[in-house]
């Protein structure tokens, strides 16, 4: 596991690396096989779970947006302004009659998530958690559990070979434990796919309204 992340500031990193250059990378021939595998996995997952309300957490440039068109309420969130600008452009093309709610919000705590409790049937976290600092990851999983009323789906790297300062080899089964029952854990093309069902989800009812206000006052919100 790479422990040496001195100098890695996640927000700064994704501000600089995000935007058009990140979109070009995910649209490149080199990335196509991963894109295809994720498309297939999430298309099947949506068909099985039939979520009414979905969050694409750390949505980046909106690479996965075309998959969510059959979901009635779609939210997408990222802390990076450069990523979210691309995501908004993608969202505006995809479903103008029922737009995705694309939110840029920088919570003071990196592990904090700006949504109401038990709001989402499905929270998708694709290629995000491997870039979350070890000191933030537990708090972030608590938050993902809090806002989720159904399932969490994670795509991450496996086996872990990237020693770069912005990548971390978290123990995912341990992170799911006590928060989500792990119902799928498999690898395709050196990417790991995990699906969890929120523990205690059956007793939870979904709030009727969604509050787009930031949960803390000193945040940047450009929704
Ligand atoms: C490798 S990109 C993946 C983007 C997208 N999910 C995809 O599959 O193309 C990682 C993204 O996670 C975002 N991110 C990292 N940590 C985050 C956090 N704590 N909250 C929200 N977004 C975060 C970054 O800004 C970046 O856009």
| pLDDT (tens digit per residue) in 65-76 | 999 999 999 999
Q: How far is the CA of 64 from the centre of ligand 1 (A)?
A: 12
Closest-lying ligand 1 atom to the alpha carbon of residue 113: 20
Q: How far is the CA of 72 from the centre of ligand 1 (A)?
A: 23
3 state SS of 141: helix
Q: How far is the CA of 175 from the centre of ligand 1 (A)?
A: 18
Give the CATH class of 29-158+169-221. Answer: alpha beta
Q: Which amino acids bring their CB within 6 angstroms of ligand 1? A: 10, 14, 18, 26, 58-60, 63-64, 78-80, 83, 110, 126-128, 131-132, 140
DSSP 6-53: TT--HHHHHHHH-SHHHHHHHTSGGGHHHHHHHHHHHHHHHHHH--SE
Of residues 115, 178, 175, the one with CA closest to residue 148: 115
Judge whether residue 47 has pLDDT over 60.
Answer: yes
Judge whether residue 207 has pLDDT over 60.
Answer: no
Ligand 1: residue of 57, 79, 107, 156 to mutate (most ligand atoms within 8 A of CB) is 79
Q: Kindly state the helix (H) or strand (E) to which residue 121 belongs, with its residue range.
A: strand 120-126
pTM for the model? 0.89
CA atoms within a 13 Å half-sphere pointing along the CA-CB vector of 109: 14
Q: How far is the CA of 197 from the centre of ligand 1 (A)?
A: 22
Q: How far is the CA of 203 from the centre of ligand 1 (A)?
A: 30
CA distance 75 to 170: 26
Q: Whose CA is nearest to atom 19 of ligand 1?
A: 110
CA distance 223 to 10: 21
CA distance 11 to 208: 32
Of the listed ranges 41-55, 109-123, 124-138, 198-212, the least confidently predicted one is 198-212
Q: Please report the pLDDT score of residue 159 as a whole number.
A: 64
Ligand 1: residue of 58, 59, 87 to mutate (most ligand atoms within 8 A of CB) is 58
Q: Look up residue 54 and give its DSSP letter.
A: E
Task: Name the percent of the chain lying above pLDDT 70.
Answer: 86
Q: Are 77 and 62 in contact (CB under 8 A)?
A: no
Q: How far is the CA of 78 from the centre of ligand 1 (A)?
A: 6
CA distance 167 to 183: 25
CA distance 60 to 210: 22
CA torsion, ordered 189, 190, 195, 199, to nearest 10 deg = 170
Judge whether residue 113 has pLDDT over 80.
Answer: yes
Structure tokens at 132: 């979350």
Q: Please report the pLDDT score of residue 10 as a whole number.
A: 87
């Amino acid at each position: 596991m790479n422990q040496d992340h001195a100098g890695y500031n996640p927000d700064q990193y994704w501000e600089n690396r995000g935007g058009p250059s990140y979109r070009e990378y995910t649209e490149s021939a080199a990335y196509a096989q991963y894109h295809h595998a994720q498309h297939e996995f999430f298309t099947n997952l949506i068909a099985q779970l039939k979520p009414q309300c979905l969050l694409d957490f750390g949505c980046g440039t909106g690479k996965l947006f075309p998959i969510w068109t059959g979901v009635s309420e779609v939210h997408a969130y990222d802390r990076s302004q450069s990523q979210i600008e691309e995501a908004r452009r993608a969202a505006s093309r995809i479903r103008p009659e029922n737009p995705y709610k694309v939110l840029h919000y920088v919570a003071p705590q990196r592990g904090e998530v700006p949504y109401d409790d038990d709001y989402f049937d499905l929270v998708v976290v694709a290629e995000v958690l491997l870039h979350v600092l070890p000191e933030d990851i537990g708090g972030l999983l608590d938050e993902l559990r809090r806002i989720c009323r159904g399932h969490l789906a994670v795509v991450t790297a496996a086996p872990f070979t990237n020693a770069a300062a912005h990548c971390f080899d978290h123990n995912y089964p341990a992170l799911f434990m006590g928060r989500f029952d792990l119902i799928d854990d498999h690898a395709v093309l050196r990417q790991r796919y995990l699906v969890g069902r929120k523990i205690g989800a059956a007793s939870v009812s979904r709030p009727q309204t969604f509050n787009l206000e930031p949960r803390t006052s000193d945040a940047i919100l450009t929704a």
